[in-house]
């Protein structure tokens, strides 16, 4: 268990709500009934932290959560984000203007059927708006009772420290997984030192870490587990403040994700994973780096076909 801000007690596997939309965070999920059934199953399995954003869909993910779970069971924590605008699949743009943050927060309250949002997170830093103004807007919403706690997403240490001078920051949500670590050690160390929840998004690499290959595959076979479970267990072992939020529309994967809480990696396992990285030929990573958002789905398919042909 982890206690966010000392008063939101959650199990250390949550649920990432971008999966409740169409491809690239755009539009409706393929099967509404199945998605709502899966969310209720997540509660049955003990998941407590549900993370979403107004830009997922946009608006779709928040609406689906409310339709499936309201009235929310005791112990369920709803976290959402504002400060970005989605204009199409894989197309997300920052908007940290105070007026926009107020509008999106109040809209999220209505869609989620809440009087107060447990955890409201700035979705990213808008270079066109001083961070102090964006965070100040969240502080105003908190003072008005519309937000219980404030978090940040897609930020580095400097932004976290600057925000903490204005308001208590209780969570940080950045991309982080065993194959895509970037320069997160400093951020995670800060979070652990200050008791700030660290919520890694894309904790199994958008599915790229669910394939049994290399050290992941060998360790998974040794434990009778899946590669995705090993990837999640590595995150849980990395720091006690880490609460992964994998998303899925598969009931089987949902159950596997929760079962990762019981997978204890050995020191030998962790040593083998210490140097693990995604292949430089990973299709999704290449597409994200070099291909315009609207063409990424086609590019991923083409790259994977090329790899199979060459292998």
- Active site residues per annotation: 56
For residue 36, CA distances in Å to 63, 67, 70, 186 come to 10, 7, 11, 38
Q: Residue 127 has which token pair?
A: 């270079």
**Residue 51, phi then psi, degrees to nearest 5:** -110, 135
DSSP string spanning 197-246? EE--BSTTGGGTTSS--HHHHHHHHHHT--HHHHHHHHHHHH-TTB----
Q: Residue 51 has which token pair?
A: 């993370």
- Picking from 222, 171, 218, the residue whose alpha carbon sits closest to that of residue 197 is 171
Q: Residue 31 has which token pair?
A: 């099967």
């Amino acid at each position: 268990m982890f206690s966010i801000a000392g008063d939101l007690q959650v199990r250390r596997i949550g649920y990432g709500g971008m999966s409740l939309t169409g491809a690239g965070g755009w539009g409706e999920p393929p099967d509404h009934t199945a998605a709502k059934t899966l969310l209720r199953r997540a509660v049955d399995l003990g998941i407590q932290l549900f993370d979403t954003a107004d830009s997922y869909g946009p608006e779709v993910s928040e609406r689906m959560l409310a339709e499936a779970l309201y009235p929310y069971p005791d112990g369920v924590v709803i976290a959402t984000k504002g400060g970005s605008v989605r204009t199409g699949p894989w197309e997300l743009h920052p908007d940290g203007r105070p007026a926009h943050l107020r509008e999106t927060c109040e809209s999220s309250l209505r869609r989620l059927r809440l009087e107060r949002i447990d955890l409201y997170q700035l979705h990213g830093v808008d270079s066109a708006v001083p961070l102090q103004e964006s965070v100040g807007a969240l502080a105003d919403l908190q003072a008005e009772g519309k937000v219980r706690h404030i978090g940040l997403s897609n930020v580095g240490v400097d932004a976290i420290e600057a925000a903490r001078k204005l308001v208590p920051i209780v969570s940080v949500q950045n991309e982080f997984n065993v194959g895509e670590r970037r320069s997160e050690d400093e951020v995670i160390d800060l979070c652990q030192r200050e008791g700030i929840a660290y919520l890694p998004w894309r904790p199994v690499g958008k599915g790229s870490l669910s394939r049994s290959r290399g050290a992941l595959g060998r360790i998974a076979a040794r434990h009778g587990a899946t590669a995705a479970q090993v990837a999640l267990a590595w995150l849980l072992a990395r720091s006690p403040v880490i609460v992964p939020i994998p998303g899925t529309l598969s009931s089987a994967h949902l159950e596997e994700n929760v079962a990762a809480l019981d997978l204890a990696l050995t020191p030998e396992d962790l040593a083998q994973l210490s140097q693990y990285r995604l292949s430089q030929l990973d299709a999704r990573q290449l597409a994200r780096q070099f291909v315009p958002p609207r063409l990424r789905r086609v590019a991923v398919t083409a790259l994977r076909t090329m790899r199979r042909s060459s292998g």
